[in-house]
Chains A and B, each alone.
Chain A
């Protein structure tokens, strides 16, 4: 059996990316200003930091740079 240690738990690491979301490991629950809660069970959750996500507070890649292409179609 592995010896049980009573060390302090590891701090939660949150990776802040340059271009977009904050990456949080493990299941997380996010509480919004209105008190509602959003749960994510993923191994890693991308929390929207740009506020453009249509699924805020979860990142949906809306932070990406967009280039407009005008119509060749009717």
Chain B
């Protein structure tokens, strides 16, 4: 991790180290090297290699990479690879997620809050007895998304129309600080990272993020970039907004218990209140008008909710499993590659 600490927050990140043939092919394509043919037949759809490969393809649409030409974003060779990877990922999610089209019931189930000592969850663990080291790991994992918070969902705006579009933009506007850049959620997140001793450089923890972490964010971008998945994008967005407030409260308590400073507490503290409102706006001003206008999207909204829940559970299990075994949940950086 040496070097990343001094990188300015806005600089494009370095290309990560490949984790197998798929990410190897994407990184080669981005470097302008000859691209080997890839075979996705045996690829693990949620694994390190495929998810890092997809992450690299998608990052071209956000901040790009240092030394990689911006034009690679629309390079047919890269887009072709991306398509192959997306198909494997999406097919796995479609197979692993039980189909349904009752959005109201799905929303109801997300609004029931499990409490008590039997609840297994990362924020529950951190609130009860997590260590500062585990909290820092959690924030490092979450940085892959939160340093570009709300960006993946912004892709869906032009795919909506009328009231659902206005409702979604109301929430996005709040995520972007309602016109005050110092209140932007990604900025609050970066300040939290610095306060607890992490690097806030964009992409600083990609190298250490396992497939389970990258997959959650890749789903957001996948649904955002495909008009055909706009229902799933809204479902994914709803899942986050509906479940975040109580989890944020637990993280505020964790940070207080662990003696974190005010800039660290502020990010989750803001989300307790913000997401209590966002939940209401998403239900009344996004989901309701969207389904009134395009009722055929119901199954995809449910798919978006369930797919993002599935990936959030996989990531949570990864973290808790590692911590129960007494190991780190981050990948250990390959020597000499992180400069």
Q: Interface of A with B (CB < 8 Å)? A: 15, 17, 19-21, 23, 41-46, 54-55, 58-61, 64-73
Contact = CB atoms under 8 A, between A and B. Distances in A.
Contacts of A23: 277, 280, 284
- Nearest 7 CB-CB pairs, A to B? A69-B118, A71-B117, A61-B245, A68-B116, A61-B276, A46-B277, A64-B113
By size class, the interface of chain B is: 20 to 34
A44 to B, nearest CB: 5
B170 A68 contact: no
A28 to B, nearest CB: 12
A63 B246 CA distance: 11
B277 A44 contact: yes
B119 interface: yes
A21 B117 contact: no
A23 B278 CA distance: 11
Secondary structure type dominating chain B contacts: helix
B28 interface: no
A21 B276 contact: yes
A41 B117 CA distance: 36
A68 B246 contact: no
A69 B116 contact: yes
Given A55-B272, A60-B273, A60-B276, A43 B112 contact: no
Interface in B168-195: 170, 173-174, 178
A38 to B, nearest CB: 11
B137 interface: no
Contact of A64 (B111, B118, B178): B111
Interface in B122-157: none
Contacts of B118: 69-73
A42 B178 contact: yes
Nearest to A54: B249
Contacts of B279: 61
A59 B281 CA distance: 13
A22 B274 CA distance: 14
Contacts of A55: 272-273
